[in-house]
Structure 1
């Protein structure tokens, strides 16, 4: 054990003597985290397909029309459209909490009574959204308002709906005592004339598509973005209030992973450079086993990864990041360190020169980050890239960090990403050791 610690200390001392290497391991991930935080706070998109759940508590023809219109936009995929769930509301909220869905849209009972009536007060549409999807919030709100506006046309197409629409308009005018009586009477007559014209047009050409000509300023929908803890199951040990205090909660996991990738690439390059310079051979001649040499290198990489994560957490705390569970954060950091130690050993045997390993290590690191959500959020990726992201350790590392920092994962929920990371690390370690054993005899 003492020999392993000596080799680990040697590698850490060499790292401290390399200012450029320290920059990419410590300063670079902090810069990336701040950049991602700035993007998260201001980015908007209209290209992504949002996967949401819709809970229809009204079960009226207009609520069904509303859901159909959402699907016809091409920008919405409804997860529970054809599913029959016992507790659809809680199941959907739980998927939002885990990051599997963008949002849950709840249409309350009575939605259809006022939907599509521009001068009435619409029933509030409750939306619980994943806190990390700030870029999609405005897009979703626009799609909901657009779908609600289409219900005006739906009422005009339906005879019963037309009668309800104009009847409610007359009632609103009669209740409005701020208008002079003469003005109210004239407006009622105008509304009656409009109703007759619409009826006549519908009777003369019932198949003609109708279009709403109401002003866009009218309130077609009242959307309330509610905190997920208001609807959470009391049996769940979750308190989401103030969990996401700032955008740094969302961006710093990405920044941490860039630092971890730098550590992995740096130690992989140093290992092959030692083989080129003969240092590795001299260590083999010393009274040290190959396992002790590699374990010392792995221990140095392990400690550096943990230090990078700790430094980023402290910086994030200063900026406003508040980890939800220190214990789960420690578990995530341990799993990530184990995983990327194995990846480091596998990277070190991709070539026989420092230049080739450098290219392979950074090339594969960028690909892992690209497919794993370290560069582009997963929601913006095509479906095939989201499937491929399951093979990227960065994707599982980001999930583990988010689960500990703000997603409020339970220990059982953390087992999945942490288990995958440990498995990747074990596979990488075995591959690296076996290949290196054959090369060095």
Structure 2
């Protein structure tokens, strides 16, 4: 074990002294993440039409008319739904809000200027404060429009005015004399000469202020089902470009040592060939995991990355590192010179990166290309990293991408080790 560690430390020191390798394993991937993160970040602007789900739990003619007008408003992208469907749509981020017309909405709509107004529940994500304020203003505006329509239609206004006046006299006679006077005069104006304002009762409490609508705001935290910003998408891509830099650096080192006879000198040491390969593979694995971790930590500190699980993140990094260590060994066993691996590695890796989502994000790939991408280990590495950052993968969901990466690691390591023995 001490010999293996010595070889690993030697390769790590060699890697750290190669400035060009450090540039392509850290600086260049960071530039990719920031540049594309800024580009993708511009796509998160809120839509000018608020996507809402409207639920009518009252079922009256008044609530049905209100709901239909709400859905048809130009400021809303509204759909009708049940309560369960509407709340689920808000949780998943498919709708900004669920607007629920409570039972009794139609009956309350007949009351004017007193009592409990028609009640609406609005379920929104508490983080969407701007949309909440805008939504409440639009609902109050429609409530006022409902009142305006009522007054412009005398045939429908008179029954509401009389009913309100009678209810005031029955429940709290004299408590609101000005309101009773106003309603009486309004009733007279609409054609009824019977209304008379009642005298106030001594010591009666003032009635609560009336509003066109009563809106009850409810918090409903949205489930994270997508990236919170552009950097959630680009940093997994950047990590794979860092891995590409490690593949080039360590692949070149492996081939160089075999060509220059360093491997032959190591083989005459007490270490077996297997221990030598294990030590060199350990160095490559540590370098890959360290670079991956540094990039993710930088993303957390400076760019708002919030991994859903650090444990799964570490698993994804290790499995990614193992897969590409095997690929390094396989490529090094196929090259006979440093120049050979310098040409072979990009020729092999670039198609895998293009197909696997390191150049075009998996989430925006055309369906036909996404199907082909399953052949690339890059896809499974990015999927594992995204699963720990923003896809909210469970441990069970992480099994598939990690198992495929480990199978790639085993297959490439075995083939690469055997080819190295022949060489």
TM-score by length of 1: 0.58
1:21 corresponds in structure 2 to 21
1:4 corresponds in structure 2 to 4
Is the Cα contact below 8 Å between 2:334 and 2:419 reproduced in 1? no
Q: Please list every run of 5 or more consecutive structure 2 residues that lacks an aligned counterpart in the other structure.
A: 45-52, 57-63, 81-85, 97-143, 154-218
2:174 corresponds in structure 1 to none
Q: 1:120 to 1:287 in 2, by over 3 A?
A: closer
2:278 corresponds in structure 1 to 295
Is the Cα contact below 8 Å between 2:7 and 2:276 reproduced in 1? yes
* Cα shift at 1:282: 1.4
Q: Please list every run of 5 or more consecutive structure 1 residues that lacks an aligned counterpart in the other structure.
A: 45-54, 59-108, 132-136, 142-171, 182-226, 233-239
Matching of residue 398 in structure 1 with residue 382 in structure 2? yes
Is the Cα contact below 8 Å between 2:41 and 2:231 reproduced in 1? no
* Cα shift at 1:29: 1.5
Moved more, 256-265 or 278-287: 278-287
Is the Cα contact below 8 Å between 2:24 and 2:245 reproduced in 1? yes
Is the Cα contact below 8 Å between 1:332 and 1:400 reproduced in 2? yes
CA distance in 2 between partners of 1:116 and 1:384 (Å): 36
Q: 1:399 to 1:119 in 2, by over 3 A?
A: closer
- Equivalences for 1:93-242 in 2 at 5 Å? 123-124=78-79, 176=148, 230=222, 240=224
* Cα shift at 1:110: 10
Matching of residue 389 in structure 1 with residue 373 in structure 2? yes
CA distance in 2 between partners of 1:246 and 1:381 (Å): 18
CA distance in 1 between partners of 2:398 and 2:147 (Å): 57
Q: 1:316 to 1:110 in 2, by over 3 A?
A: farther
Give 2:241's match in structure 1, choosing from 250, 254, 258. Answer: 258
Is the Cα contact below 8 Å between 1:7 and 1:297 reproduced in 2? yes
CA distance in 1 between partners of 2:36 and 2:75 (Å): 42
Is the Cα contact below 8 Å between 2:39 and 2:230 reproduced in 1? no
* Cα shift at 1:335: 0.8
Equivalent pairs, count: 292
CA distance in 1 between partners of 2:221 and 2:349 (Å): 37
The SS at the match of 1:349 is helix
Matching of residue 30 in structure 1 with residue 30 in structure 2? yes
TM-score by length of 2: 0.60
Higher-Rg member (1/2): 2
* Cα shift at 1:6: 0.9
* Cα shift at 1:130: 8.5
Give 1:419's match in structure 2, choosing from 382, 403, 417. Answer: 403
Matching of residue 336 in structure 1 with residue 295 in structure 2? no
Q: Deviations over 1:302-359 (max 9, x none)?
A: 0001101110121011122121111111111111111111111111123211112112
Q: Deviations over 1:385-432 (max 9, x none)?
A: 212210111111111111111221111111111111101011110110
